[in-house]
Structures are given as C-alpha cells and as structure tokens.
Amino acid sequence: MSDADLYSTTVGESGDPVVFLHGLFGQGKNFTQIAKALQPDFRSLLVDLPNHGRSPWTDHFDYVECADLVAEHLRSGFAQDGPVDVVGHSMGGKVAMLLALRHPELVQRLVVADISPAPSDGAGEFEHLLGSLAQVDLSAVERRGDADAQLRDSIEDERVRGFLLQNLRQSTEGYAWQANLDVLRRDLATIGGWPEIDVHFDHPVLWMAGERSDYVTEEAEGPMRRLFPRTRQLTIKGAGHWVHSEKPEAFTSALRVFLSADD
C-alpha cells in the first residue's frame, strides 16, 4: 500500500493544522463534530487508518507500519509546511504516539485520548464485538436496520451498535463491511499490544482519560512519562472510553486550551 492511498478529509480552511486519528472500528469522520467546533482557529485533517473507512486493507496489522504510513501521508500534503498537532484516540492514540516518537519533525503537540503506551486489557470486549459483526448474514441485509436487528441480541447497547454499523456500506453487490474484520480479529492481540521503543518525544503532550474508563492506569504513568516527559494528564469527568463522543464539549474545550497554549 502506498502512502497516497490513505483516505482523509479536511475540515476548515484556516487556522493551525491538527490531525485526528480514530480508534478501532472508527473512521476519520467520527471527529467531524470536534473539528467543526474547533473552527476557525484550527484546520483539521480526519484520517482513515489502514483497514478502516475508505483506506485500503493490509495483510496484517502493525503499529509501526501504520505510523509510518500516516507520516508519509502527512509529508505528502497536510504537513508539507511544517509540523502539525496530532490527536489520537485508543488504537489511533497508539499510532499517534508512535508517529511522534518515530517522526518527531512532523508533530508539534500530541494529544493521547484514553490509551497508554502499554498492552490494553480490552481484548475480550473487542473480540466479542468483532465476532458479533462477523456473524451478521450480509446476504439477508437489505437495509441497515436488518443488520441492526441481527446484532441486538449480542450487542444490547444501541449506541454501540450504531457506531459499529457506520462500517456497513452498500454497493452494487449488496452490503459489505468497510473495516477489514478478518485482519482486525486475527491481529487483535497486536492491536492491544505496544511495540518496544526506546526514544522519547520532547514536545508538549496532553494525556486524556475517561473517568469511567480503565485504559489509563497508574502502572502506565511511568512508561508514559519516560517516553513523553512533557506530559500533562487530564481526566474527563463522567466519560468512559469514547471520551470525544460521550463528552464532546469537555473534550473540545480541553483540546482548545492545550493546542492554543504557548510551549
């Protein structure tokens, strides 16, 4: 896959450049509301990571490869004029951290949302979600509601089903999943892991956590501060893992303050 193949969209025509990297099952457009709220002070790039959205599929999942692909995508366009701010949530937060560590010339400020530079404990939940999606009989789906009905017994939360069903797309041959479910399910242990890396990033970092989430732990604080010594930590009250969708106003306010601050 070439760097030009990554799909992204831009929100805003002026302001400081900021890049958003989504989590597992997500797409760049998941940050549209946040990006619009940051206008006109920020111009945002919403990236579909490999195996998600409109970006191509790969044969396997690898964080280093993913970060390098994002780096090349930024060099070819959005970051041509200099470093940009980068915001990453969950899986996208790990990609963002590796992007900053491996390509520090591209990143001015970094925001890591509800994830740590350490193995994650959510594999069981995501294995269940991936398995549920794989069990959907797409040949029986004539409209999105049919897929939703098939998922109700295994995924009771309507909001979670709605989020996952954003990955369902209609073509001339019927409905299909945009996300590469086979690779994501097979390589879920890798997605939940963290590669060894011994460099550090010297620019400002905002490390956000959802109050009701357990993806940011006390045990991860040491590794985080070794890799990112200029880390500031913030907890979003009342939020779970999907901090940007559960508490968009608090998330946007925190972003604006951090991204606008003097170094």
Tell me 193's DSSP state.
S
Verify whether residue 245 is a known catalytic residue: no
Can you tell me the distance from the alpha carbon of 247 to that of 182, in angstroms, rounded to the nearest whole number? 31
Checking DSSP bridges between strand 42-48 and strand 7-11, what pairing results, if any?
A: antiparallel
- CA dist list (Å): 54 to 27, 39, 166, 187: 8, 25, 12, 20
Q: Which pair of tokens denotes residue 189?
A: 């242990």
Start-end of H helices in the chain: 32-38, 63-75, 91-102, 123-134, 144-151, 158-164, 181-186, 188-191, 221-227, 243-246, 248-260
Can you tell me the distance from the alpha carbon of 55 to that of 217, in angstroms, rounded to the nearest whole number? 32
Verify whether residue 148 is a known catalytic residue: no
Tell me which of 22, 241, 244, 245 is the catalytic residue: 241
Tell me which of 8, 90, 116, 213 is the catalytic residue: 90
Tell me which of 59, 157, 182, 202 is the catalytic residue: 182
Verify whether residue 171 is a known catalytic residue: no
Find the helix packing angle between 91-102 and 63-75, rounded to 10°.
Answer: 70
Dihedral sign (CA 166, 167, 169, 174): negative
Burial of 249 per CB tally in 10 Å (0-12, 13-18, 19+):
exposed
Nearest to 254 by CA among 117, 113, 116: 113
Residues with catalytic annotation?
A: 90, 182, 241
